[in-house]
Amino acid sequence: MYDRMYSIRMRAAEGGPHEQGGLHISGGETLVPKVLLEETTKNMLQKALNHSRGDADFIQVIVEKISSNEVVSLAPLSVTTEAVKSVEEGHHRSVEILQSLGVSNKAITNGMGLLKSTTNFRGAVVLSASSGERLDDRGLRGVRATRMGWSHEGYARWSALYAELASPRIAEAIVLATKVAHAPFMIAELCWSDDPEYITGYISSQQNGYVRITHLKEKGDFSGGRVFYVSDDVQMEHFIDFLEQTAVLLV
């Protein structure tokens, strides 16, 4: 049904590569047919070079071919936006939403604490939704969802429906949140950006969709990240394998 798809991943740092202590500047993931490969790779490079976090001196772009029969098609999560007036109100709403999804208070406190800290993980931290314990052993790298993107038609339809949201940042976050929400054992994701200029974050789940909260940190704050809350019966290898290996296309 689709052209042969390619996964493109980018990561950028300042002061050397991430694993040599460089400060993470920017990252991105997408899945495109061959006709869009060059243009998209160029756009990724531009994203790395023009980022408000800093001046990248290490940029890695990885391109991989995926066989089209391995691609899972998913509809994007539905989007709602909750306008809040302060970080305090935003955090309060986040707690309420996570509680309603069955995440324990301890797990909420631990997750919010991780995102508030200035330690920037390159990927997400996986927490037990009941104990709040960290379950992955990936250290500062965390777990990265990869091999995902919009189909051309899917993005055209979605961006017409949600014209006011159709920025590259939000479109990328919807892809990630949709793939992650469909992972086995997944309960909820909490996210806000580490970009100091961007203060809207979200809580996503298959149950509630993608719920944006307009104020989760103050401008100028470099904190941010992602937390994946999982159920107690999680099989970590299976969970991480889905996030890293299964190619997902939003349609």
> Which positions touch ligand WAQ (CB under 6 A)?
27, 29, 120-124, 142, 144-145, 169-170, 173, 176, 191, 193-195, 198, 200-202, 212, 224-226
Taking CB under 5 A as the rule, which mask of x and - marks residues 185-224 in contact with Mg ion?
A: ---------xx-----------------------------
Strand partners, 247: 71
The CB density around residue 64, as the number of other CB atoms within 10 Å, is 13
**Integer Cα distance of 132 and 121 in angstroms:** 17
Minimum CB distance to ligand WAQ smaller for 2 or for 198: 198
Residue 69 dihedral angles phi and psi, to the nearest 5°: -75, 0
Q: Which is nearer to ligand WAQ, 132 or 142 (CB)?
A: 142
| Least separation in angstroms between CB 34 and ligand WAQ | 22
CB of 239 to Mg ion, least distance (A): 23
Q: Which of 239, 16, 76 is nearest to 144 (CA)?
A: 239
| Least spacing, CB of residue 194 vs ligand WAQ, in Å | 4
By C-beta, is 123 or 149 nearer to ligand WAQ?
Answer: 123
The helix or strand, by DSSP H or E, that contains position 182, with its residue range, turns out to be: none
Residue 76 binding partner per list ligand WAQ, Mg ion, none, with a CB distance cut-off of 5 to 8 Å that depends on partner kind: none
Residue 222, contacted partner among ligand WAQ, Mg ion, none, CB below 5-8 A by kind: none
| Least Å from the CB of residue 200 to Mg ion | 13
The CB-of-75 to ligand WAQ minimum distance in angstroms stands at: 17
Range list of β-strands (E), the chain = 5-14, 23-33, 58-66, 71-74, 79-82, 125-128, 148-150, 186-192, 201-205, 209-213, 225-230, 247-250
Residues 66-95 binding Mg ion (CB under 5 A) are none
Interatomic CA distance for residues 102 and 206, integer angstroms: 13
What CA–CA distance (Å, rounded) separates 120 from 42?
Answer: 26
> Which DSSP category does 166 fall into?
-
Nearer to Mg ion, 149 or 224 (CB): 224
111 touches, from ligand WAQ, Mg ion, none (C-beta below 5 to 8 Å by class): none
Return the SS3 of 133.
Answer: coil
**Can you give the binding site for Mg ion, defined by CB under 5 A?**
194-195
